[in-house]
Structure 1
Amino acid sequence: MSAPRESARDLVATLAAKHLNLGHRELRPGEDLWNLGMTSLTCMGLMLEIEDALDVELPADRLNAETFASVDGIVAAVESVQLGVPGEETRART
């Protein structure tokens, strides 16, 4: 019997803590990642690892400071992609 699949929220929180070098400190879902040391370079590495781990590709309109301000923001973007909700960029082309 395999272990239960880690939720997207848990995975994002774990990866964010890793990229921010927070050790085993747990992130609160709405905690401001930029105030914890997020930089554009950190954000890029986090985004790439999340996309690989969850097999998603975040559209360009979701790659911004607001999306990556918190675990909740990142999870909302990931879930909208997984559910097939079009982003602003996609809606503009249709």
Structure 2
Amino acid sequence: MTEQPWATKFEETLRGFLPLLPDTEPIRPDLRLSDLGLDSLATVSLLLEVEEAFDVTIPDHLLTEDTFATPAGLWSVVDSLLVRDPVD
């Protein structure tokens, strides 16, 4: 089994917005989210849920079609905004 490049919480949140993705199908980084049922209204809801789940605010300049095109694109933005504890 291949480990996904994102947090489990991200996948669980994202899956809730993809009504056309079968429960048994994995979320691949390159899946086209719009092909799986993510429309403009759902994108706004997904944005709010992701921001809340990860305690981040996605700045306006990153609210692009590319950001929400694939799981990898969205995770890349979220991951870049996460506050990391410095390594001692």
CA contact (8 A) 1:13 1:26 kept: no
Deviation at residue 13 of structure 1 after TM alignment: 2.2
Q: How many residues align?
A: 78
Seen in structure 2, the aligned counterparts of structure 1 residues 9 and 68 have a Cα distance that, compared at 3 Å, is: farther
Shift of 1:64: 1.4
Percent identity for Structure 1 against Structure 2: 31
Match of 2:32 in 1: 32
1:50-93 alpha-carbon deviations (Å, 9 max, x no partner): 10000000000111111011111111101112259xxxxxxxxx
Q: What TM-score results when the alignment is normalised by the length of structure 1?
A: 0.71
Aligned-residue RMSD, C-alpha: 2.1
Output the CA distance in 1 between the equivalents of 2:55 and 2:9. Answer: 13
Q: Gaps (5+ residues) in structure 1? A: 1-6, 85-94
**Structure 1 residues 71 and 60: alpha-carbon distance in aligned structure 2, compared to 1, 3 A threshold:** same
Structure 1 residues 15-94: aligned runs within 5 Å: 15-21=13-19, 22=21, 24=23, 25-82=25-82
**Is contact 1:17–1:26 with CA below 8 Å preserved after alignment?**
no
The aligned amino acid for 2:65 is A
Query: What is the CA deviation profile of residues 20-63 of structure 1, one whole-angstrom value per residue up to 9, with x for unaligned ones?
Result: 22352321111110111211101111110010000000000111
User: Quick check: which one's helix share is greater?
Assistant: 1
Local SS of the residue matching 1:76: helix
Match of 1:4 in 2: none
Task: Give every structure 1 segment of 4 or more consecutive aligned residues whose post-TM-superposition deviation is greater than 3 Å.
Answer: none
Distance 2:47 2:22 in 1: 19
Q: Tell which structure's C-alpha radius of gyration is larger.
A: 1
